[in-house]
Amino acid sequence: MTQRATPIDPIARPLTLTPEASLNRLPVSVGGSDARPARHWVSAQALHSLLLHENPDDDRSVRGFLQSFDPTRPGDARILAKYSERLASVLTTALSADHWLAGSPFQQGYAQLWRSCETVVLGGGLTSGEFGQALAKQLEIRLKTISLLVSPWGGQTGMVGLAQHLRSANDLVVMDFGATGIKRGIARYHGNKVQSLPELTVDHWLDDDGLFRANAFRQVLNDTRTLVDRSLPVAISLACYLNEGHPFDYRSGVYHRLFEDCDHLATELNEHWLPEAGFDSLALLEHDSTAAALAFRFPHTAIMVTLGTGLGVGLCPVQTESDGGE
């Protein structure tokens, strides 16, 4: 079972991300406006608001917009231009790192990583399809000091990252517990192929306080086991900052109160919840955007930014000579 430890040196690698690394809460000004949290500008809700503003008669959901996006359609082109301006402002603010440089020792080390970043990779559901590619082209024009890539796997990048990191010769169940959806799949052939399983809607599993708790986690594992023909190890990413395999004690998102549901989440999964559901051991438990970052490896500092219900951030592994150039 793999766990990620928090280094004593805040600029050491790998730097375990904490709630202090949040991009959602980063104050950002767009076009001279007052600073607002970054999620106000580029979350899925923000994109939906743009859609309604630019095309009041358009009844497409965000998913429908992404699936039918056409850059030659004037309304779609206006949404792209405004969204890319907003995202460029968010990334420019993050890359300057001024907000974090004045913060805690962790944030100061985190700021140094942003300031040394040479590549930003975009992933998550909002980067899917032609919209993601068009967004990257817009950002390349606006941001000239860094390389910018878009994940070819969109909202499945987290599952691919888990699979690619573990490179299991045997089949592996991969699960991505996001803010609004739970993606599932089976990774095969050393993680080079992920066979998708039906996605679940998170809202269905929340308690009266709008939180995803231990009982829901166990039910989702049981549901997933019915889709798999044999006991397999499981790798999980979670939309929650993790401290050595257990959630930090903070209050954001739907998963953070798993902190109270067991002494150590990774151990509980490995020793109880997964075996009780009929699975093998826990192969990896990781923060969701860090899992997405694991799908990419560079010889220099590179940062994954995931766009979906909110903004996530993960640090891409640094390629070493022992990686054999992979």
* Per-position pLDDT tens, the chain of length 326: 443 333 323 333 457 899 999 999 999 999 999 999 999 999 999 999 999 998 888 889 999 999 999 999 999 999 999 999 999 999 999 999 999 999 999 999 999 999 999 999 999 999 999 999 999 999 999 998 999 999 999 999 999 999 999 999 999 999 999 999 999 999 999 999 999 999 999 999 999 999 999 999 999 999 999 999 999 999 999 999 999 999 999 999 999 999 999 999 999 999 999 999 999 999 999 999 999 999 999 999 999 999 999 999 999 998 876 665 44
Tell me how many degrees the CA angle 37-43-48 measures, rounded to the nearest 5: 125
Q: Strands 302-307 and 119-123: what pairing?
A: parallel
Per the omega criterion (within 30 degrees of 0), is the bond before 233 cis? no
Q: Is residue 3 part of a domain?
A: no
Q: State the Cα–Cα distance between residues 251 and 44, nearest whole angstrom.
A: 21
Sequence length of the chain is 326
Dist CA 226 CA 69 (whole Å): 36
Split into its structural domains, the chain has a count of 2
Distances (CA, A) of 104 to 96, 111, 207: 17, 10, 34
Give the pTM: 0.92
How far apart (Å, rounded) are the C-alpha atoms in residues 112 and 95?
Answer: 9
Same domain, 101 and 210: no
Handedness of CA 276, 212, 128, 285 (dihedral sign): negative
Instruction: Note whether residue 326 is domain-resident.
Output: no
Give me the pLDDT at residue 325, please: 46
Q: Residue 188's domain is classified under what CATH number?
A: 3.30.420.40
- Say if residue 147 is in the same domain as residue 184: no
**Identity at 7, one-letter amino acid code:** P
pLDDT at 13: 44
Q: Are residues 46 and 113 in the same domain?
A: yes
Domain that residue 183 falls in:
155-289
- Per-residue DSSP letter, 256: G
**CATH number for the domain that contains residue 137:** 3.30.420
| 143 lies in the same domain as 198 | no
pLDDT reported for residue 55? 85
Computed from CA positions of residues 91, 295, 311, 108, in that sequence, does the dihedral angle turn out positive or negative? negative
Residue 263 and residue 194 share a domain = yes
Same-domain pairing of 130 and 221 = no
Q: Is position 251 within any domain? A: yes
- What is the token pair recorded at 307? 């766009």
d(CA 148, CA 298) in angstroms, rounded, equals: 13
Residues 50 and 25 in one domain: yes
CA dist 207 and 216 (Å) reads 8
Distance CA 282, CA 112 (A): 33
Are residues 58 and 128 located together in one domain of the fold?
Answer: yes
